[in-house]
Chains A and B, each alone.
Chain A
Amino acid sequence: MKRRSFLRLFGLGLATFSFFGILPRVVKGRPLVRPPGSRVEDFFNAICVRCSRCVQICPTGVIATANLGDGFKELGTPKIDPAKGSCERVQGRCEEQARCAEACPTGAILRVQRDNVKLGSTVINTGKCIAWQGGPCLTCYEVCPVIGAITLFDESRPLFNENVCVGCGRCVYACPAQPKALTLTSKGERRT
């Protein structure tokens, strides 16, 4: 092989690689929501061995495996997918059992105090919300396990408090609007 063709191929490979690296960012454009007690993002990606034990053990099935669309670095790591359920570490089937943290072999997910769990927060699109459009629906308010995370405006419309919300995703899962009016984001997440 000639020096020139080698360099060309090398350049081409580099271009393809960066194309794949950038594309997911363009498509997704939002950081992943991680299981409760996950370490800070870069460290998490570095020490997670992609064993999927947390995915398998989660009693609610809310932990999914990140795919290529979520990014190269994130590929195979666990993420919270509120379309599948909600994280019941704060209230429900998991609580002090902290199953994902217990199952993690590398310490990418740590057991943290229940009061310290914060996966992120929910963001509302009032244009899609049934209650904000005048309908009788407050499903999010009903299912929310944290008092004060959702307050009512005019006793009929939900307002989300980013600081109180723990980001469990129960409201997102339960939201009956189609498409859903709620999105779970990593905004305000507490990582160690």
Chain B
Amino acid sequence: MDREQTEKDKSETSTVSRRSFLKLLIAGVAAAAGVVSLNFLRPKPIEPELTTVIPTTAKVTPSTFSTTPSSKGASVVVVRGSPSVKPALLVEKALESLGGAEKIVPSGASIFVKPNVGFYDKEAATDPAVVVAAVNCLKRASPSRIVAGESSVRGNDTEHALQVTGMRSIVGEAGVEVKDLRKDQEVNVSVPKGKAMSSVNVFKIVRDSSFIVDIPRLKRHSATTTTISLKNMMGTVPDSEKGRFHQVNLNQCIADLNSVMRPSLVIIDATRVMTKRGPTGGIMVELNTVMASLDPVAADLVAAEELFKAEGATDPTASAGRVEHIRMAAELGVGVADRSKIEVMEVKVS
């Protein structure tokens, strides 16, 4: 009886423990798998979701002012001052030489001003004084609205960049709102002439503007050789698109983007230019110059030449001609990159 009882006990315990062992093992594996899969399930916050995607046709800029057919040529104004001359005066002279803001800007236009505020670095950003001077000139053309905006490089916070560069406070004082474009809606714009992309997402406020004023600082760039007005337009697309540009073909994408979001007026801040290295940490050279043009390609070509000259290049014209995205933009008909067809108007202010 005793023996039977013990055997019964034995068999019971062994059955139960074997089963419970298996159950526990399976539960353990399942729990571990669950924990691991939780990591994969978490949303990846790197690429922001699109808020809205509205298919639209290509942006048409006012024909009277912006479209400069390659055959006709272009003109670029180069205003040179001295260390004692304020940047505001250089900007005024530049726009005056182009015919005056009242003539350049159609009345009632909705203006979007695009300075370069890509980094937490004053030297890498457009001088706020230049932006203020431009805004004050543009106001005379009685536009329906003027808005400035930027979306900094991937990894940098635009709001912080606007604050540390003084853009938010200084331009704000001039009565113009400076927007962190990342908070704006994204819209999809088709790129009919695009070679590297057929459509691109841009910020709505930029697409809805009828007159884009591009105000970059003249700088060197590690990946695109120079960053002037064409490259500055990358601040009008969301981070996900900036990433795609780099993956696909950065130079071609910049050209493609400018074929639909073409700046109507370019004012280049070359008061202090960044040479040798960029877009941050380069050697600053004082040029006390402001350039302006209605043709972003011609403006970039002439400005690039100035930059290489400041670096002491042996043949600055040839170096400027080798900047890929400028050449590609010209091929898409964004503007003129033929040096013989560009009229450079030199103005001296002292």
Contacts and interface: CB of A to CB of B under 8 A. Distances in A.
Contact of B155 (A19, A68, A170): A170
Contacts of A178: 243, 247
B250 A92 contact: no
Contact of A69 (B21, B24, B35): B35
Contacts of B35: 67-69
A127 interface: no
Contact of A136 (B9, B251, B280): B251
A36 B303 CA distance: 42
A68 B42 CA distance: 14
Contacts of A4: 13
A54 interface: no
B278 to A, nearest CB: 8
A177 B155 contact: no
Nearest to B244: A176
**B interface, size bucket:** 35 or more
Interface residues of A, number: 45
Contacts, number: 111
Interface in B94-122: 119-120
Secondary structure call for the B interface? helix
A25 interface: no
B46 interface: yes
Interface string A126-138: 0000110001111
A123 interface: no
Contacts of A130: 246-247
A139 B24 contact: no
A8 interface: yes
Residue in A4, A91, A137, A142 with the greatest tally of chain B CB atoms within 10 Å? A142
B155 A86 contact: yes
B17 interface: yes
Contacts of B280: 142
A93 B157 contact: yes
A97 interface: no
Given A69-B39, A137-B246, A5 B17 contact: yes
A143 B224 contact: no
Nearest to B161: A92
B52 interface: no
B32 A20 contact: yes
A173 interface: yes
A174 B38 contact: no
15 contacts: A8-B17, A8-B21, A9-B17, A12-B24, A23-B32, A60-B157, A68-B35, A69-B36, A86-B155, A135-B249, A142-B153, A143-B153, A173-B155, A176-B244, A176-B245
Question: Shortest 7 CB-CB distances between A and B: which pairs?
Answer: A174-B155, A176-B243, A176-B246, A174-B154, A138-B222, A137-B246, A68-B35
Interface of A: 2, 4-5, 8-9, 12, 16, 19-20, 23, 27, 60, 67-69, 83-86, 88, 91-93, 130-131, 135-139, 141-143, 145, 147, 152, 155-156, 170-171, 173-174, 176-178
